[in-house]
Amino acid sequence: MPTGSTIIALASPEGFAPRAIIRVSGPATRPMLLDTLGSLPPPRRAQTARFHLESTPPDSGAAFTPTLPVLVLYFQAPRSYTGQDAAEILLPGNPHLIERVMSTLLAVPGVRRADPGEFSARAYLNNKLTLAQAEGIAQLIAATNERQRRAAEQLMRGVTSQRYHRWTDETTTLLALVEAGIDFTDQEDVVAIDPAELSRRLATLARDIDDHLGARAGSHVSDRLPVVVLIGQPNAGKSTLFNALLGRRRAVTSPHAGTTRDVLREPLDLSSDLPGAGAVTLVDLAGLCAHADSPIDSESQSHAAQAIADADVAVFCDPTGRFGHPPRLRPDATVIRVRTKGDLPGKSDKTSDSVSVCALDGWNLSVLRRAIADAATGSASTGVLPRHRRALLQARRRLDDAAALIDQPRADAPELIAGSLRAALDALGELIGRISPDDVIGRIFATFCVGK
């Protein structure tokens, strides 16, 4: 991500409002302010000014340069959010005026519109934020409940990073002690860690990680995508919702019940709905019936039951909103109740925790997508970001592998234990920024809003 250019973005919601904020960061900030304001405000002090807009010919044909009253904050590097020269321009929240100011700024050489998350990415690259703190900003913006908000604040304050550093340091220490016993077995003054002590410390470390991950800490690490099934009675609008979530026509839809017979599986990317959520496997099934009228119906019901048994999340569809008891699911599966066909009048159970959607016009689909992302990653109940959860579960599994080898009567057990601890350290290192592949960093900041 290049940092030599100067970036600008609207940092407030679009549309009409009493005020709007345009954010600027980069080496051209200072000359830009001098050019458009005629003077430079004192650093970190709000000052009113008149912004010189691009020259515009009036109806009479005579050229003139209009000005706009604004409030300006200038931040001199490195004492700014991004670590660069930066500014915030407050102006009336009129979309036409905002675009005029943006056009004037973009006319300055070396200035361009910011990419999503680029301000926070520059703060990270200039050591103003840790990777976890940057993710905390994204999580705070996307938080939908109090648990997620508190988790985001812990990330931003560095509390979560301190916890990750502590676990990383302990894993590093255990690895060093195990490797000392391998490399210096002939040295009397070098004592490898006692197996009982190693077992105790590994158990403590694993327990701390489990406490942080919450109730679903026992979930196994798998390369497969989380499975999300759409369930409900025939003609409940499942296939129409399936197509709407995918954004394309994949399933055949019909007003007649029983159209869907096969199990349809498609990947659904939710990374834009929740930072780090990634993709899930979305599954459309035949409508659930108490009795099968034909061998084909019986086979469809059997395939549907198997898919439901494998599901991590069940989206329970009912156009009446009354719902009932969902079919038997895995003990750790999550149920999301959805009133489909939300554009039609009907009675609904006001006590049920459900989401009303209309798959035909897209009403509330974004709410449902976020609910699916939360349920599939466990972030709704724990507040732990999906990327963090995956890394911690991976580290947790490697710690279990190491613990299982402690009492094994194998000559290569110490080497295998060390290998498992190195793998756990790699997973933890990704969280504290010690191991930060470019694609991981890119995915984090791509989830931000423009202007953040």
pLDDT of the residue at 188: 52
Query: Structure tokens of 216?
Result: 């679903």
CATH superfamily for domain 141-214+393-446: tRNA modification GTPase MnmE domain 2 (1.20.120.430)
pLDDT of the residue at 28: 94
Residues 322-343 pLDDT 10s: 877 777 787 778 889 999 988 7
Q: Give me the helices (H) in 378-412, please.
A: 379-382, 386-404
Domain spanning 227-382, CATH architecture: 3-Layer(aba) Sandwich (3.40)
Is the entire prediction scored with pTM above 0.85? no
Q: What's the rounded Cα separation, in Å, for the pair 275 and 204?
A: 30
Give the chain's residues under pLDDT 70: 1-3, 55-65, 183-192, 215-223, 254, 256-259, 275-276, 290-293, 346-352, 379-383, 433-452
- Give the chain's radius of gyration (CA, Å): 28
pLDDT of the residue at 270: 87
pLDDT of the residue at 197: 92
Q: Which residues make up the CATH 3.40.50.300 domain(s) of the chain?
A: 227-382
pLDDT of the residue at 183: 62
pLDDT of the residue at 213: 84
Q: What's the rounded Cα separation, in Å, for the pair 49 and 412?
A: 73
Cβ atoms of residues 343 and 321 within 8 Å: no
Check whether domain 6-124 has CATH 3.30.1360.120, yes or no: yes
Query: Structure tokens of 120?
Result: 């926070």
Q: Which residues make up the CATH 1.20.120.430 domain(s) of the chain?
A: 141-214+393-446
**CA-closest candidate to residue 234, choices 273, 284, 184, 272:** 284
Q: Which residues make up the CATH 3.30.1360.120 domain(s) of the chain?
A: 6-124
pLDDT of the residue at 441: 47
pLDDT of the residue at 351: 44
DSSP string, 12-79: S-SS-EEEEEEEEESTTHHHHHHHHHSS-PPBT--EEEEEEPPPB--TTS--B--EEEEEEEEE-TTS
Q: What's the rounded Cα separation, in Å, for the pair 142 and 376?
A: 16
DSSP string, 192-251: PPPHHHHHHHHHHHHHHHHHHH-GGGGPPP-SSPPEEEEE-STTSSHHHHHHHHHTS--S
Strand 17-25 versus strand 47-52 pairing type: unpaired
